[in-house]
Structure 1
Amino acid sequence: MTGRVDTTIASAGTGKTTELVSLIGEDIKTVEPERILATTFTVKAADELIERARARLVDEGRGPEAVRLLSAMIGTINGVCGRIVSEFAIDLGRSPTNQVIPAEERDELLQLAADPVFARHAPKILGLWEALALGELKEKGDWRKHVACIVEKADENGIAAADLKVSARKSIEGLAEFMPVPSDAENPSTWDGDLRDAIGEAIRRADGVALTASMGAKSLEEIERLNGKLSRGESLSWPDWGRAMKLKVGKKADEVMVFADVLRAASVAARHPRLRADMEAYIEAVFACAADVMTAYEAYKREHGLIDFSDQLCLALEILRRQEFEDRLRERIGSVYIDEVQDSSPIQVALFLELARIAPKSRWVGDPKQAIYGFRATDTTLTLNASLGIAAETGGKPGVLAESFRSRPGIVSLVNDMFVPAFVRMGLPEKESSYEKVRRKADPAVDTPLSVWHFEGRYPKNQAGALAVAVADMLANRAPWPVGAGPNLSRPLVPGDIAVLCRDNADVYRVASALADAGIRVAAEQRGLFQAEEVELALAALRWTADHTNQLALAGIARLLGGTEEPTAWLYSVLAEGDDELEKLVPFASDLRQIRKRQLQLTPSEILDEVLVAAGVAGHSCRWGNTTDRLDCLEKMRGLARKYEETCRNTGAPATLSGLATAIEDDMATRPRSRDRNSVNVLTYHKSKGLEWSIVICTDLDSEPKTWPVLMPTTAVDGEVDWQKPMENRWIRFWPYPFGLNKDGVDIDVRWRNSETGRKAIKEADEEAVRLLYVGVTRARDHVVLCTAGKGNVDWLDRLAADPVTPHVILPTASGRPLVANGKYHAVRFVSWVEGEPVDVSPEAPFIALPRTMAVHDPLRIRPSDVASDEGTYTFTHANLYGEIPISGNPEMDDLGSAMHAIFAVDDRGRDMKARIETAKTILARWGVTGVLPEEVIAAADRFWKHLDERFPTGKVMREVPVHAYDGLQVISGRIDLLVEGPDDEDWFVVFDHKSFPGRPDKWDGHARKHAPQLGKYAKAVETAIGGRKRCIGCFVHMPVRGVVIGVQAMNAETGEQVATIA
């Protein structure tokens, strides 16, 4: 290592960004601003960092340095790596303009590349999938999700496709940790038959036995279901075996006898050789498929000139490691700042190590206590070891930010007592785990900033309803909940001050629905964007704009706009002849028709904007109330339209209006979070990281960490993690769980928990759960509410304890009792809530839709060859070339015209006549033109060349001249058939256009008139392109078939004077 690396542990709310801004400001005194490199976890954090750093420089009178800081490499790790790759792309032999696949589109493009691979592997994998009945775990999708996850893990850990065989082998070998084998005394060949016989016998024994309703009777139903499968010749899946070994039986002897043989026969499932064989075969097949998918995906990206975020990281790492680039990199990078280092993946740690080697000094800032993204390939052990190790090896200074600027003293005290002992057990020093100072003071108007709420109710839905009652009461009685309005000041709360944190998305949807049902506005992502009426209306309008024959779409618009006076009028209109009656029910139907006429001039997303704004769909939607949320949903729909166009650009597919309608409807989009300050925030603990609110309500304290069954592939490391070689010895472990929803009592669940891998996984999950709860509680500025429900289980809080017997945190169960954390008492307000009917606390703001006129814009690009018109006043002159081209039969004139254009473009009078005729013959044959002799076409060419020599003897002839120039707000783009330019000392040029028109002389002027605007556009484009140095003195239509050149001159209809050029 050549550079010094200082590290900073920044606890939540201790002014980490302020510290970074200060460090960068000091650094710029000795390092050029453009040589600063800083990475952040999110784009938002990067924007905040650079703007605050620039603002500080401006405040200090260092404006020029603030401007130069815009050239610094500050952004997310992928943004910074993208800059590095772009700057060194040519050195790598790559295009600097490679299109980067947005993260949200990667899965879609991967699926596109993988579809042929999936088709090849499906026959083998599907049989194993069904045998293991992995589809019972519905939340995890199908086998293709397993493949995609392996591909993702391989990308994150730099594992090549060819090396996936090693992961498959190690995964199979690892099954021995928890899967037993038959003993020598057992005969597995009879086990399938034993279970089949036992099931039949149980049904016979049950006849006449009074079974317990809640146990034996239900078990008999399960036995009969299994027997039905066997009777139909179907095999029992492994989840079927799991259910058979977990049958519930009453205590009566005769009931026990009914199911005894089934329980005994099914109990061997975990050590059944066929189960082991199925699991091994499935593991091997999925890894083989994943390797082929990786190969196909790489080929797809090469073919389309694409790279994804993983490629950016790998290419940047290659650049940083190549010795020939070191000098240039040292010139470019003077200081490095790494934010949120604890959330780094192994390849990112490898990048940071290389940057530390190149830069004279680096600063790594993070908080191991907030490492909560294990599912995103982060490695907490690696990042912690790397931070400690690199500081020690380079002589860097470790620092700690331990003064809370965010929370009230009562909250800080609780955080210290709740979490510090657990963090110390994880290996973090107490000094780095606790707050030492608090900047804010306690609010004298509040007895305690801590509250405990208990929600009565047996089911989660009832408990969510009780939470809604509690929040409604908080909003109705705001006096006990003052929130900060500056240093030690307070103000009444507004709904946006409140955040309800949930364990997962399902809990978010449930709580958000309960709050919405109670009349409380909610800022939360919710299911069903396309079930929102405003989006349904916009989509129907989009479909009818795309296809006027789509009566279903038109009827959908009419139904949604039907109102309450005649809600079924649209239905009677559907039955009428034609669509006229339906259109009468759609007030903006004429606007949609106008938009339809302009489809070819607009992109799909632009058409959507026209539909929403110009046609008034957004305005009509807002009249239904809940205006802000409806506009947010429509805005998300606009975002999906832009995403669709980006996907089309990446894949090379055409972007069409009907394609957009299909694509956005197929997207499993959620409704966006409301941005209204009068909305209560509901989100997961994970998504709350980096944010803060005045009041934080922590729910789901009864949830347990998810460790078993192992559903998806995970990253494994052989031996101890070496922070200096972060990507070595990594592989992917995949153990599919074979017993479906039977997650305990199936033998292997206990064996897995007792295995080395199981114990490690449980320990890591428990530790991450502690860190996640720490993140949640430390989001609060003024108040924290801890919630229990039902029986009051607090399994999540139990993870804070040193042992499972002695609780570390004890929540009160009645008013007047304290909360106990680490043996210390904390005063709390305790309230028990039940589901009820809260009052409406979110009055609807009025909305008035202003009328809008539809703006009609000319197309951006003008192709002169597409401009045709019979309008305008012109004069015409005729120059006879004295010779026509004889035509036999009826050739296709368009093909003849294309052929003659090509012949006139390449004909060279200096060549031998035979060669010229042979070229003309080849071109005519290529266009399939018969009935015209090549000799005649060459003769016509000679007549034309002679005419040019006589008419413009000093001119320079140029053929097929490309032209690109602005005409006001439009761009003229095309190719001129023939341009004659005067010599340098003469300021003229003329334009010719070849037309294969075979009509009579009385039709010549009319045909030339149609193409006059085209010639005018060409003339204007040339004058613009050359800056007006020369002017057009003539525009001509050459008709070689009739042997005539027609001059076209525009006239002023009022004065009769000639116009300088054709307009």
Structure 2
Amino acid sequence: FHLAERSLHRYAEYKKERKLIDYTDMEVLFLKLLENEEARNEISSRYKMVFVDEFQDSNPIQIDIFCKLSDLVKQSYWVGDPKQAIYDFRGTDPRLIEAVIRKLSSENTENLTIGKPLADSWRSRPQIVDFTNEVFTKALAEQVDAKSVALNPVRTENELPGSEWHKPVQCWNFVSDKKLTKEQVSHHLAKGITDFLNRNDVYVLDKRKSKLDKSTQNQVIKTRPLNPEDVAVLWRTNPKVRSFSDSLKKFGFQVAAEQDNLTETAEFKLFLALVNYYLDKNDTLAKATVKFLTENEISVTKLLDDRLNFLYGDNAPVEPLTKEIENREEWNVYYQNLNAWGSGNPLLKKMNILKENAGHLSVSNLVDKIITTTGISDFASLWNNPLQRKNNLETIKQLAKEYEDRCLILDLASSLRGFMEFISKTRNQDLKQGAAAGTEAVNVLTYHRSKGLEWPVVILNELDYDHLSDQKLINNEFFGGNLFSGIETDLENLFWGRTIHLLPWPFGATNKKVPEDLTNRILKNSRYEAQMENTKRELKRLLYVGMTRARDMLVLINYTSNPLKWVKDTLDAEEINMNQNNNMFGTRHEIAEKHLDFGNDVSYPELEMKAVELLQKNGPMEQNNPLFRSPSHEPPIENQVVSVVEDFQFRIQRKSGNNTDDNVLGDCLHDLFYHFSEENREEFLEKGKQIISGYGLAGDLTHVEHIYQSAKNLFGFLTCQYGPPAKIWKELPMQMVKDDAVYNGTADLIWEAENTLILVDYKSYSGKKEHILNPEHDKFSGKYSGQLATYAQMLEQCHPTGKKVSESLIYYAIMGMLVSVNK
């Protein structure tokens, strides 16, 4: 305890030196602030009401804050559901909440009243509501009033088909003549869910299309086929979530589950390699990693052969015969040739250009640029679990912002190298992968994380787990450091009876069992008895939370060789086993049984897409309704009018005979126009040469002054036609959510006039002018109409003053033609 005291004192000094506060400080300092007369007067004069949501999750210090705030205002509303108090491990005290509710419910309480319970269930089918009512009015009778448990179903009974797979409450029995291993449990359930999702005759309520007919006051019911996103699988612990997620992935499903090991994913390794190359362009391992993960038909063997051939083949760099000190220029050429391996990779080329132009960027902006400009997400979409991989890239961006905030608070300089050091020192379990999202991802999470959420189908696991085993409870709740709140409460002294107990494990690291004589003494200890009772009460509430997440189907998982310990403890019943009792809960409501027999099989299908972490290449995966979309992929809009706005009669001269890639040419022109400045002609010409050289186009775009003139023509026309700009936006990144999809894109040029917005998109096509005006030609400007329309919507949504786009233009920079694409 002396060590703990010194540690807390040192921790307090550390925070004070760096001007930091943690979550506990926020509570303690705010409570202290409420003792200040000036602060109390300020709150009382400015605020009239206090609202508290999720009151059942409050700890004693929060309740003290709420009480003191309530004394300062005219009205105070506290909303909560004691049946869902499941966060004892975070310091909440359900018995204290119950005591508050009892006080509010007493008849003689002055100025205090308890409101009318929310008695209607709009979420679940009537059979599910009635089932949970019957189970938990008994199970929670000691904790809450029966009227607060039983809900009235609002939905009607016959909304879904009447087949066995649509029964509101189901029990899937996994047949086995002996106890299944952990591997078999994960495999069998994943196989059962796979078969369930592969059926084409299972439907769920379509919440979006179902609505109330105001003319008849009848509910219009619409259904749709079951999708993976409609299923949630609940487990007790995060390790079980991770283990089962791996099993589902082996059956080819994407999984919406937060997982550890972000740094072990292929997308992070690709990002890390690009960062290392950015920091040192001679980093051979970084270049090899980028080549392996992004180039087609390249294996580790081919990669090594390519490297060895470069170093020792016929065209290998030859080391100079003279000493470096005698002929430094010759040695510089040698080193340049030696480090040329891999530099032709498209991503590395983009990194070279980025490094030349990104010196002014912050760490978070630079990380964002590395991810977006190199197109890492495009490669991630070709690997398995593309949604989760894209979310992982977003997580990396968020980590960069957190790193910058940390540096700002601690008054430290931020750098890209510092960011990578920050990640390397962060615990692996704290570097969570982003959960996949979209219709193709099954939800896998803990009972605790499911609170406040809902799904059409909810699958409850570990009903056979023995939470109240004496040995487990002694090991987890008696030894180590634990907060003990006891059974009695005192509303005049909210912290009464709350103590910290520390009892180190004295039996050695390999011994997991307490000796029998000591176990018998602990079982008679009043603290143990109170802890047993508190744990039992929370287990009932936790199962209630799990059962009330389901909208259409509630699925209970049972392994027929295992007694249902959790159900037994919830019902305070004798031993329960589905072999002995067809209704495990003993209710009058039907539980539809499904018997699934997979024997001892733990095999998984051979999927075409291998895990990229195992150094296997993956082909593209088709997405019917991708979550992330690009405006450039939007189909053209019919009946487009394409008209020439201005023909500048000026063409950028290119050197003939070059087979320049159109995408490389386009990227180069975009960069050149981004850096255009009419006032700094000489500076632009110098910078333009560097950009052109960086793209390897010095033999093609030989007249950088032509590019300057082309940009000047455009900007001059826009000024004459629409007036001097209030603001010019170049390469503006935008995002928009529409039709369940997230659109991400970058607008080339936004000319913001006084009352309108002009959208300009650059194209590098250098062919004949009549091609871009001919609807029958594949270079017809109208084919970009969907892209421009989407950009216009994105721009109008994100613009701070709500200005509208009045013109969408395409500028063919090389041919000097400006055209309008409008409806």
Q: TM-score, normalised by structure 1?
A: 0.51
2:392 aligns to what? Answer: 633
Q: State whether structure 2 residue 40 is matched by structure 1 residue 322.
A: no
What per-residue deviation string (whole Å, max 9, x for no partner) do you get for residues 301-356 of structure 1? Answer: 22222222222222221232333433322222212221111101111011111122
1:684 aligns to what? Answer: 446
Q: State whether structure 2 residue 462 is matched by structure 1 residue 700.
A: yes
Match of 1:451, as an amino acid? Q
Q: Return the offset for 1:749.
A: 2.9
1:680 is paired with a residue whose SS is: strand
Q: Residues of 2 paired with 1:519 and 1:327: CA distance?
A: 61
1:364 aligns to what? Answer: 78
Q: Return the offset for 1:464.
A: 1.0
Match of 1:722, as an amino acid? D
Q: Residues of 1 paired with 2:567 and 2:344: CA distance?
A: 59
Matches within 5 A, 1:692-841: 692-705=454-467, 707-709=473-475, 710-717=478-485, 720-728=488-496, 730-739=498-507, 740=509, 741-789=511-559, 791-803=561-573, 806-807=574-575, 812-813=578-579, 818-834=582-598, 835=601, 837=604
Q: Residues of 2 paired with 1:859 and 1:652: CA distance?
A: 33
Matches within 5 A, 1:927-966: none
Q: 1:294 to 1:444 in 2, by over 3 A?
A: closer
Contact 1:417–1:821, Cα closer than 8 Å, also in 2 = no
1:787 is paired with a residue whose SS is: strand
Q: Residues of 2 paired with 1:483 and 1:870: CA distance?
A: 60
1:350 is paired with a residue whose SS is: helix
Q: Residues of 2 paired with 1:543 and 1:799: CA distance?
A: 55
Q: 1:841 to 1:414 in 2, by over 3 A?
A: farther
Q: Residues of 2 paired with 1:308 and 1:702: CA distance?
A: 39
1:432 aligns to what? Answer: 148
2:747 aligns to what? Answer: none
Q: Return the offset for 1:631.
A: 1.0
2:140 is paired with a residue whose SS is: helix
What per-residue deviation string (whole Å, max 9, x for no partner) do you get for residues 621-662 of structure 1? Answer: 333354322211111111112122222222222211112123
Contact 2:482–2:502, Cα closer than 8 Å, also in 1 = yes
Aligned match of 2:187 in 465, 475, 491? 465
Q: Residues of 2 paired with 1:853 and 1:520: CA distance?
A: 36
Matches within 5 A, 1:552-567: 552-565=285-298, 567=300
Contact 2:231–2:456, Cα closer than 8 Å, also in 1 = yes
1:588 is paired with a residue whose SS is: helix
2:233 is paired with a residue whose SS is: strand
Q: State whether structure 2 residue 139 is matched by structure 1 residue 422.
A: yes
Q: Residues of 2 paired with 1:800 and 1:658: CA distance?
A: 53
What per-residue deviation string (whole Å, max 9, x for no partner) do you get for residues 513-534 of structure 1? Answer: 1111011221112232222111
Q: Residues of 2 paired with 1:566 and 1:461: CA distance?
A: 32
Match of 2:590, as an amino acid? H
Match of 1:449, as an amino acid? P
2:352 aligns to what? Answer: 593
What per-residue deviation string (whole Å, max 9, x for no partner) do you get for residues 665-712 of structure 1? Answer: 443123221111221111111000000000000011122335221354
Q: 1:288 to 1:713 in 2, by over 3 A?
A: same
Matches within 5 A, 1:445-524: 445-446=161-162, 448-455=167-174, 456=176, 458-485=180-207, 486=210, 487=219, 488-524=221-257
Aligned residues: 577
1:482 is paired with a residue whose SS is: strand
Q: Return the offset for 1:775.
A: 0.4
Q: Residues of 2 paired with 1:839 and 1:454: CA distance?
A: 26
Q: 1:718 to 1:799 in 2, by over 3 A?
A: closer
Q: Return the offset for 1:746.
A: 4.3
Match of 2:348, as an amino acid? A
Q: Residues of 2 paired with 1:402 and 1:811: CA distance?
A: 33
Q: State whether structure 2 residue 61 is matched by structure 1 residue 347.
A: yes
Q: 1:491 to 1:594 in 2, by over 3 A?
A: closer
Q: Residues of 1 paired with 2:543 and 2:247: CA distance?
A: 23
Root mean square deviation of aligned Cα? 3.3
Q: 1:839 to 1:411 in 2, by over 3 A?
A: farther
Q: Residues of 2 paired with 1:394 and 1:299: CA distance?
A: 45
Q: Residues of 1 paired with 2:136 and 2:341: CA distance?
A: 65
Q: Residues of 2 paired with 1:407 and 1:307: CA distance?
A: 42
2:71 is paired with a residue whose SS is: helix
Match of 2:437, as an amino acid? R
| Identity %, equivalent residues | 28
Q: Residues of 1 paired with 2:487 and 2:195: CA distance?
A: 55
Q: State whether structure 2 residue 367 is matched by structure 1 residue 650.
A: no
2:117 is paired with a residue whose SS is: strand
Q: Structure 1: 5+ residue runs without aligned partners?
A: 1-286, 861-867, 873-965, 971-1063
What per-residue deviation string (whole Å, max 9, x for no partner) do you get for residues 166-202 of structure 1? Answer: xxxxxxxxxxxxxxxxxxxxxxxxxxxxxxxxxxxxx
Contact 2:486–2:527, Cα closer than 8 Å, also in 1 = no
1:961 aligns to what? Answer: none
Contact 2:486–2:531, Cα closer than 8 Å, also in 1 = no
2:226 is paired with a residue whose SS is: coil
Q: 1:478 to 1:773 in 2, by over 3 A?
A: farther
2:715 aligns to what? Answer: none
Contact 2:191–2:251, Cα closer than 8 Å, also in 1 = yes
2:130 aligns to what? Answer: 413
What per-residue deviation string (whole Å, max 9, x for no partner) do you get for residues 183-230 of structure 1? Answer: xxxxxxxxxxxxxxxxxxxxxxxxxxxxxxxxxxxxxxxxxxxxxxxx
Matches within 5 A, 1:282-297: 287-297=1-11
Contact 1:693–1:779, Cα closer than 8 Å, also in 2 = yes
Match of 2:450, as an amino acid? S
Matches within 5 A, 1:72-111: none
Q: Residues of 1 paired with 2:351 and 2:435: CA distance?
A: 30
Q: Residues of 1 paired with 2:585 and 2:17: CA distance?
A: 60
Q: Residues of 2 paired with 1:475 and 1:297: CA distance?
A: 51
Q: Residues of 1 paired with 2:494 and 2:674: CA distance?
A: 54
Q: State whether structure 2 residue 373 is matched by structure 1 residue 614.
A: yes
Q: 1:324 to 1:560 in 2, by over 3 A?
A: closer
Q: 1:562 to 1:828 in 2, by over 3 A?
A: same
Contact 1:484–1:781, Cα closer than 8 Å, also in 2 = no
Contact 1:472–1:841, Cα closer than 8 Å, also in 2 = no
Q: Residues of 2 paired with 1:317 and 1:857: CA distance?
A: 58
2:171 is paired with a residue whose SS is: strand
Match of 1:318, as an amino acid? K
More helix by share: 1
Aligned match of 2:96 in 359, 379, 382? 382
Q: 1:586 to 1:754 in 2, by over 3 A?
A: farther
Contact 2:273–2:290, Cα closer than 8 Å, also in 1 = yes
1:53 aligns to what? Answer: none
Q: Return the offset for 1:802.
A: 2.6
1:601 is paired with a residue whose SS is: coil
Q: Structure 2: 5+ residue runs without aligned partners?
A: 211-218, 312-316, 318-334, 610-620, 633-662, 676-681, 687-725, 731-823
What per-residue deviation string (whole Å, max 9, x for no partner) do you get for residues 358-396 of structure 1? Answer: 122222111111110011111111122123324543343
Q: Residues of 2 paired with 1:609 and 1:325: CA distance?
A: 42
Q: Return the offset for 1:481.
A: 4.6
Q: State whether structure 2 residue 46 is matched by structure 1 residue 313.
A: no
Q: Return the offset for 1:833.
A: 3.8
Q: Residues of 2 paired with 1:563 and 1:754: CA distance?
A: 68
Q: Return the offset for 1:432.
A: 1.6
Match of 2:253, as an amino acid? I
Q: Return the offset for 1:735.
A: 1.4
Q: Residues of 2 paired with 1:841 and 1:771: CA distance?
A: 43
Q: 1:336 to 1:871 in 2, by over 3 A?
A: closer
